[in-house]
Amino acid sequence: MSNGTIPVVALSGPPPRLRRRIALTFMVITIAACVVAAALLLSRAAEERHAIEHRALEAAKALSFGFDQEVAAVNYLLKGLSKSPALLSGDVRAFYDQLKATPVPEGSWLVLNDLERQVANTLRPFGSPLPRHVDFPNYREAFERIRDRGWAVSGRALAPLKGSIVVALSLRLDDAEGRMNGHLTIILTEARLGTILDDQTLPAGWVKGLYDRKLQPIVADRDGRKGSDLPVPAALASRLADAGPDSTITGTVEATDDRGVPVLVAYRRSGATNWTSVVTVPLADLNAPVSAALWRMAGPASLLLLAGGIAAWFTARQVEQPLRTLSDQVTGAKKQVSELSGQLLALQEEERQRIARELHDSTAQHLVAASLGLAGLERTVVATPASRSAFAEIESLLSEALRELRIFTYLLHPPNLATDGLQATLRDFAEGFAGRTGLVARIRIPEEIDELPLELQRAILRVVQEALTNVHRHADASHVSVKARITFGRLIIRIRDDGHGMVRRDRSDGSIRLGVGIAGMQARLEQFGGTLRIRTGWGGTRLVAMVPISRSGRARPPAGRLRMQWLSDPAEADCDAPS
């Protein structure tokens, strides 16, 4: 990789129980199937819900159009009567007879008004006493509307002569000079408007009604019973509160009716009459398709989950035992490899000790004897400048060879590890290494590290030796630090340098070819259940070796898992090791 990332190498123990994994797989597949089926059913249910809402809104529109047509028809009737010669000539009796003969909607009647009172009313014989305008509440408001608009539709009112709820449609009458001198009115009863409601057949439980400009009920039909006492839902009143007086508004709103039942209110407010036609649908009916879809899904989904569980159990029983046997074989092989690696390391340590003893007891003694013999020979030879120079050069070479041999034997087998402990050995080695290589070393080793088993101390020493050797050979660093601590039952060794990192520029993919040193450190830590983590980048390399320690100070047995993680983020070079 171009950013220097080194692949992660992970060796793990046995996988989780196969039965759980198979059951989880079957469950995921089953749930996915249920989700797809649910999405399809709910999509169809949502379409049905939308169709119900659309039907309610269309019914409200149709009712509103029916009332508008009724008003328009009687308005044309009034306009025709306003052109009557009897009315224009002032013959009220003749015009009354004409009004009586005029066909009007069932239950309706006509009234001729001047500016003060009713002049003629087809409900009463001509000449009978008739009410004055001031006897009607809100007459002044209605009068102003007739004068300003030329015609007007009243709100809900109680007819004193009939004793029922009515609405009045009035047309302005003018004299020859164009001044208003009265108005002609037709009265529509609650029963007449109820017949328009009957034109719309709705499902049981739905309510339809008509309300005036102040949202007072004119006529409503609930379960086949008509009346004028059904209040409008409060949510609809709030929705129309800020609407213009002559604007036409159509829509739906969720509300609660007078019985506390949640409903959907579909409405249309007519700009011509200022009446509002309403159709209310119980939300239970509106949501019935969605509820039914959920219930339809519950049974099949339960059966599908049960079948998936049985299938998973049966499949797991068929394949778990062979795979478990194979896993046990792989685990046994890993254990054998680990044991063999430990034996090889032990043999290597023994061989190092034997070579160190041979070099110290034999080769070093020969070099010392050669140096002594050279000194005796120098006393018997005639001293000349050439001979003195030769003797000095040979003596220097012998001293250098003896010094390098002693360093080499110390590295092969530090003799003071068993006597002085790991703390002193690591400190002496690091300081000597720094002195020989020119590195600036910082050492921090706790005393309790000497309480660890000798085998673990020797392994930690070898890891530190190998790490410092790699720093000297490959990192091109000027500073190195070695720190150790024991915390939370773990021994943590951290070695950090300020070199250029382990990214190889001579490889096209930026990866690193590992040598045998890293593998050796890994194998030594594996003997004690330890882990090795390396973070490297352009800001340097950091090695963290961690070994679990029991309360008695001994290393815990191998956990069957070794993880070696490589990262290349330079920003992580300063973060602490996991604790």
For residues 156 and 166, give the distance between their C-alpha atoms in angstroms, rounded to a whole number. Answer: 6
When the candidates are 3.30.450.20, 2.60.120.10, 3.90.226.10, 3.30.930.10, the CATH number that belongs to 17-286 is 3.30.450.20
pLDDT at position 6 is 36
CB 439 within 8 A of CB 480: yes
pLDDT at position 328 is 75
DSSP string, 409-466: HHHH--TTHHHH-HHHHHHHHHHHHHHHH--EEEEE--GGGGGS-HHHHHHHHHHHHH
Any idea where the domains of the chain sit in the sequence? Answer: 17-286, 421-574
pLDDT at position 571 is 41
Q: Cβ neighbours of residue 191 under 8 Å, at least 6 residues apart?
A: 106, 107, 164
What is the dihedral angle through the alpha carbons of 348, 351, 352, 355, rounded to the nearest 10 degrees?
-160
pLDDT at position 566 is 47
pLDDT at position 14 is 40
Give ∠ CA 273-276-281 in degrees, rounded to 5.
Answer: 160
Give ∠ CA 199-203-207 in degrees, rounded to 5.
Answer: 70
Helix-helix angle 385-412:364-380, to 10 degrees: 170
Answer yes or no: same fold for 17-286 and 421-574.
Answer: no
Give ∠ CA 565-525-360 in degrees, rounded to 5.
Answer: 130
- Assign 275 to helix, strand or coil: coil
CB 501 within 8 A of CB 534: no
pTM: 0.50
pLDDT at position 119 is 92
pLDDT at position 252 is 92
For residues 341 and 346, give the distance between their C-alpha atoms in angstroms, rounded to a whole number. Answer: 9
pLDDT at position 576 is 38
pLDDT at position 569 is 45
pLDDT at position 142 is 83
CB 544 within 8 A of CB 575: no
Mean pLDDT, 10 residues at a time, over the chain (579 residues)? 37 50 73 76 82 91 90 90 90 91 89 91 90 82 86 80 80 90 90 85 90 89 85 87 81 89 92 89 84 71 70 66 70 71 66 65 67 71 73 75 63 68 84 82 88 86 85 86 90 91 58 67 84 86 89 52 43 37
CB 559 within 8 A of CB 527: no
- Any idea what DSSP says for residue 505? T
pLDDT at position 415 is 62
For residues 302 and 34, give the distance between their C-alpha atoms in angstroms, rounded to a whole number. Answer: 10
- Homologous superfamily (CATH) of 421-574 is Histidine kinase-like ATPase, C-terminal domain (3.30.565.10)
